[in-house]
Structure 1
Amino acid sequence: WEEARRFPAGGILVVPDDNYRWGALMDRAAGIIAEEGLPGSRLASLAREFGKPAIFGLDNATEILKSGQRITLCSDVCQVYVDRLESLLPNVPPGRDYMPGSPVYRILQKASARILPLTMDVDSPEFRASNCQTYHDIARYCHERAVSAMFSLGAEKKYAPQRVKQLRDKVLKQFWVVNLSDGFAVTPPGPVIDIEQIASVPMRALWHGMNAYPWQGPPPVDGKGFLSVLFEATANPNLDPAAQTAYFSEKNYFMISRDYCSLHSRFGFHFVSVEARLGERTPENYLTFHLRGGAANIERRILRVRFAAEILWEFGFAPMVRNDAVSATLKGMDREEGELLLAVAGYMTIHTRQLDMIMQDAAQVAARREEMLEHCRLLFKGEKLPQTATGVEEA
């Protein structure tokens, strides 16, 4: 992840696979070498469109080729030569101009101004359909209203209490479970359901990771981190603890069936959503993890999501960071691997809380990274972990 951000213009990109995410570096790369992959992949198509030479299926490329090494890539004959071979370079075709100044770029730039920006805050009183200015605004508005309608739909109906239960794991938790179809093994008569009565495979795996290690509470904050939170509170009325805003009143929801789970949680100013399908049909399985928000300033929040992205990268996720938000996705894993990855996602849901406050303290960050990586590696190995009944009581 860090190496991708530091990739230099004019370098040969050497990667383990042909995942299309490497296409984000296409404008800087002079060529591409992938250990695994096919000429018909999306990455190969991008390379052809940009006129960049590429070789796919070159075994052990990431081990043999070293960063900073001078090589000559000749994709016509699928050969990589040590050092710079001047005799081959005059035949290099000029790259196509898709960059600033080109007609394509100008068209995309004009269109993106009406597509990409998000101008509305979901917690603002101005969050109305008439204030949507971009397609992103429209999508966000529709999503928020759809989720709100989903939770309110049928609230007065007789069957609603049978589908929505408060979760209990030895003690009551600030989590409510919405049974979409067959997510309950047993439907208890009262308003509470025990974790043992949940039949949803992905929810149980996610909950296991959330409770595998007890949260240590807010990290020790340095003076600058404390002042950062105070400054944000003066600029954002939602951070006033005396104000009765949605930040302190929203519940945390699991929406489940036997093979599906969607978690929407808000811990203070820390927003996490996890969605997964885990069934017998491996190609249909997927896992997504989203993290955003925080109480510290924007610089620390950005550092936190990069910190989370680096850990997720270690376990095969494809994280994408935008400002103070990170989204990570995995697809096509089998059920057993998916359960282990969901445990990792559950751990990250709990243990990234309030880390934005320490992100400029190098010593604390290094210690937390080492500890969290060790915990996640144990979870991914499926090793027995210490159990706790208090891991996520607090919302």
Structure 2
Amino acid sequence: MRLLAPDRVVQQTYEAFKELLDFNGRSHELMADLEALYYEHKPEDFARIRSQYRRFAAAVSGMITSLEQMQPGMAGPLREYYSKYDFYITLLLAPPEQFLIPPFVLDHDTPVDPGLAGNKSYNLTALQHGLEIRVPEGFTISATTYDLLVAHNQLRPAIDLLLAGLDLNTPASLDQISQALMTLVQNMEIPSHITEAILAEYDALANNEWSSFFTVAVRSSALHEDGEHSFAGQYHSVLGVDRAGLLAAYLEVCASKYSPQALLYRIHAGISDEDAAMAVMVQRMIDGVTSGVVYTRNPVAAGSGELLVHAVPGLGLALVGGEAVPDTFCFAAGSLTPVEETAATYKHSGTDEKNKGGRGAPARCTSSHSSSLHRDQAVHIARISREIEQFFGVPQDIEWAIDGEDNLYILQARPLAVEDNREIEESQTVEIPDISPLLVHARIASKGVAHGIVQHLQPGGGIDTAEQTILVTRHIPPSLARYIPKLAAVVCEQGSVTGHFATVCREFQVALLVEAQGALTVLNEGTEVTVDGFRGCVYPGRVDQLLTGLEEKKDLPDSAYRRKLRSMLDHITPLHLLDPASPEFRAQSCRSLHDIIRFSHEKAVQIMFGLGSMAGSASSRCRKLTTDIPLDIYLLDVGGAFHQEGSEEITPRELHSEPFLALWKGLSHPRVDWDNHLHFDWKGFSDAALSGGISVGVTKEYASYAIVSPDYLNLNMRFGFHFALLDCLCGSVSRANYCQLRFAGGGGDYQGKVIRIVLLQRILEQLDFEVRVRGDLLDARIQALAAPRLMSVLTQVGYLLGKTKLLDMSMQIEDIAPFVQDFFAEIGDTADHEKH
């Protein structure tokens, strides 16, 4: 911003004022970013939120410093109040306290503490000791060990710095930061006493093993995994590990907490990095002849009470990885007799890949009509699974394996997310569209209705996602979870209800159809389709009948993440200092950081414009604009804008400031209705104070203020609860000319304010402004225009500000397009309008 000091006496005040305005702008910008996290349901890593808040707090602190520089003593106890609210917020966002003390390795002789070993390890040891169910022998390297290694290697500052720079909307940023984080962890030094403890537990397991060749599976058991959030398939497991490779496998599993998909899952779940410390479970390898998954409730028909046993030959990696279609046994509620047996029509064959980092084993190829599981085995699995469900008291997602001696091992048991059957009842009230579907009879793995554009999964698993993508693929590896936020639905030719990706889709309410044979052939890339995830069909085009009847806004739970954001904003955004003329408008009345911003800015404007002395004597540099429009504006001349001296007021005709007069030409146009105040409640403001939200004829504290010169304008215009800041240079050198506009606030609710911002954005972009929007804050800039062209743009901007002054109170989203059309039909008239 360009400011011209009229004399050397006030130069220091001008400089401090410029700094304060800069800090004020940054404060509002960063406050809007923080608000958007909550109101627009934007997930961010807590390290990034802490970084954003620190920059915001620094800007608020800078305003206090600048105010003190302008007039010592004016801030009063403002710094003390700032420190109090900053302390509360810093404490709220602080990571959990860590206690880096033993035990670092936990044997499974007794049930383990889930706070140290994670839910996966706890659940298995609880079953082992509570129900005496056979689980693989093993031990757990505690989450405390991971925290200790991070501290020992002094990685926390680097981890936080990388996470703070993570842009979830940029795939390259995610991949680069993920790789950097994983490299840091994989290269951690393990202290000798931790190494000795881990190898001692391994040796104890090996001594109990009759086989001369002893290997283990190294599996994640992170805190928060297998609890409210499954983290299904997001972390690595390493299989077939011997003693020499154990420590490297441990670090590999730890590093997987920073894989792209795991990072995205954790952040979208609202869990901080520190809260998701990695415990690691080490278990004796089971040579599974048959493996599979049990759902003790049908996840897409929970009310039926069905229990589903899914089985594949060999290891179950292809099943949970979405690469195989299983044999399925369905048991009715309370029954141990299968009511339905389905043999897979095709199965995965070849070699199982390293399971998310694990070393696999050859997969057996079977006939398309032979079952991998005998009925009596399925009955035994169903009986054990019902006991497990009863033990934990909630439906279970259970992984199991049967070895060559027909021993059943439970490999994992976690809560099963089941979907609300009321959605099915609602779906049945919507008539089937009278349209021939492109695809039918797909199996429903996650319910929902979605509309979008088909995209096929590219070789190697990469996709170029856009919003509302309908992904069509042959199989569904868990790594696809990284794209969940942009996927409207997924249609898979293979896969199963039991895959890890299916679990994640149900958690994030993304429609998923599996066993959709021929999908890649009939659903051509680039085709617009509607997926009916209640009937297992895909229709061509947009089917409004389905979308209107079934596609409801997803209700986001009041998560711990959102509660923490809300608590943070409670100390930041509420504005209590509404009336600058009130005796309560003082530093001692500040109850939020927003109050401190408002107080600092108001007092700075009063100092800058000399309001304290204006009432008693005329100012040669500061005058009130005389006009018929109900808007009070005080002008500060910084060099040549006033033709005459000695008067307290000035008319537009007497003002020599080309940018201000161009803007005023639009504001004062007859088509701008300054008398229509709509249906408006100013939350306690009296009619004497505000007329429809426009300050007029009352106190100078409610007025708008402009710094002017012949070619310069800096305007702080207030319309009740919203404000517009305009900074413009309009001189003879075109390349130096610019106009910068900031618009924020309003008297409506958040949605109303955002709707008006969208309207402003569309119009300003058509006027060739570069526009950036964050929540209810808009920044627009245009530059390098010749003076005549820029003055024409200023007139159009003035007209826009006048026409939109209270629209946040009444405008609906469907009103935007007609308003834009009418606006551009009207602005031609402004060229013929004379200056007031």
- Same fold at TM > 0.5: yes
Moved more, 283-292 or 339-348: 283-292
Q: Tell me, yes or no, if the aligned pair for 1:213 and 1:388 is still in contact at 8 Å.
A: no
**1:252 matched residue in structure 2:** 704
Is 2:597 aligned against 1:139? yes
> How much does 1:147 deviate?
1.3
**2:715 matched residue in structure 1:** 263
Q: Tell me, yes or no, if the aligned pair for 1:26 and 1:50 is still in contact at 8 Å.
A: no
Q: Distance in 1 between matches of 2:677 and 2:620?
A: 43
**2:743 matched residue in structure 1:** 290
> How much does 1:346 deviate?
0.9
**1:371 matched residue in structure 2:** 822
**1:50 matched residue in structure 2:** 174
TM-score by length of 2: 0.31
Q: Distance in 1 between matches of 2:763 and 2:583?
A: 36
> How much does 1:169 deviate?
7.0
* CA RMSD across the alignment: 5.6
Report the AA paired with residue 120 of structure 1. H
**2:122 matched residue in structure 1:** none
Is 2:785 aligned against 1:335? yes
**1:151 matched residue in structure 2:** 609
1:293-304 equivalences in 2 (<5 Å) = 293-294=746-747, 303-304=755-756
Q: Distance in 1 between matches of 2:463 and 2:757?
A: 39
Is 2:454 aligned against 1:70? yes
Report the AA paired with residue 290 of structure 1. F
Moved more, 341-350 or 195-204: 195-204
1:157-306 equivalences in 2 (<5 Å) = 161-167=619-625, 174-179=632-637, 181-184=638-641, 186-218=643-675, 225=679, 229=680, 232=681, 236-241=683-688, 247-248=695-696, 249=698, 250-266=702-718, 269=720, 271-278=722-729, 280=733, 282=735, 285-294=738-747, 303-304=755-756, 306=758
Q: Tell me, yes or no, if the aligned pair for 2:631 and 2:694 is still in contact at 8 Å.
A: no
Q: Distance in 2 between matches of 1:285 and 1:126?
A: 39
Report the AA paired with residue 128 of structure 1. R
Report the AA paired with residue 186 of structure 1. H
What's the secondary structure of 1:216's corresponding residue?
coil
Report the AA paired with residue 800 of structure 2. M
> How much does 1:347 deviate?
1.0
What's the secondary structure of 1:287's corresponding residue?
strand
In the superposition, relative to structure 1, how do residues 285 and 307 fare at CA in structure 2: closer, same or farther (>3 Å)?
Answer: closer
1:304-323 equivalences in 2 (<5 Å) = 304=756, 306-315=758-767, 316-318=769-771, 320=773, 322=775
Q: Distance in 1 between matches of 2:479 and 2:746?
A: 47
**1:6 matched residue in structure 2:** none
Q: Distance in 2 between matches of 1:27 and 1:299?
A: 19
Q: Distance in 2 between matches of 1:275 and 1:183?
A: 20
1:281-326 deviations in Å (ceiling 9; x for gaps): 85784412325434x788766655554454345444535465xxx4
Report the AA paired with residue 717 of structure 2. S
**2:585 matched residue in structure 1:** 127
> How much does 1:96 deviate?
10
Q: Tell me, yes or no, if the aligned pair for 2:618 and 2:648 is still in contact at 8 Å.
A: no
Q: Tell me, yes or no, if the aligned pair for 2:724 and 2:743 is still in contact at 8 Å.
A: yes
Q: How many residues align?
A: 321
Report the AA paired with residue 116 of structure 1. I
Q: Distance in 2 between matches of 1:327 and 1:254?
A: 21
1:339-392 deviations in Å (ceiling 9; x for gaps): 3443232112212244456536978x776543224334x4xxxx86231566xx
> How much does 1:165 deviate?
2.7
1:6-25 equivalences in 2 (<5 Å) = none
In the superposition, relative to structure 1, how do residues 162 and 298 fare at CA in structure 2: closer, same or farther (>3 Å)?
Answer: same
In the superposition, relative to structure 1, how do residues 305 and 90 fare at CA in structure 2: closer, same or farther (>3 Å)?
Answer: closer
What's the secondary structure of 1:237's corresponding residue?
coil
Percent identical residues: 19
What's the secondary structure of 1:127's corresponding residue?
coil
> How much does 1:256 deviate?
1.6
> How much does 1:163 deviate?
0.9
Q: Tell me, yes or no, if the aligned pair for 1:290 and 1:328 is still in contact at 8 Å.
A: yes
Is 2:573 aligned against 1:117? yes
Q: Distance in 1 between matches of 2:584 and 2:628?
A: 41
Report the AA paired with residue 385 of structure 1. A
TM-score by length of 1: 0.57
What's the secondary structure of 1:348's corresponding residue?
helix
Give unmatched runs, 5+ long, in structure 2: 1-32, 45-165, 177-450, 486-507, 509-555
In the superposition, relative to structure 1, how do residues 184 and 131 fare at CA in structure 2: closer, same or farther (>3 Å)?
Answer: same
Larger radius of gyration: 2
Q: Distance in 2 between matches of 1:172 and 1:217?
A: 7
Q: Tell me, yes or no, if the aligned pair for 2:632 and 2:695 is still in contact at 8 Å.
A: no
Q: Distance in 1 between matches of 2:781 and 2:644?
A: 31
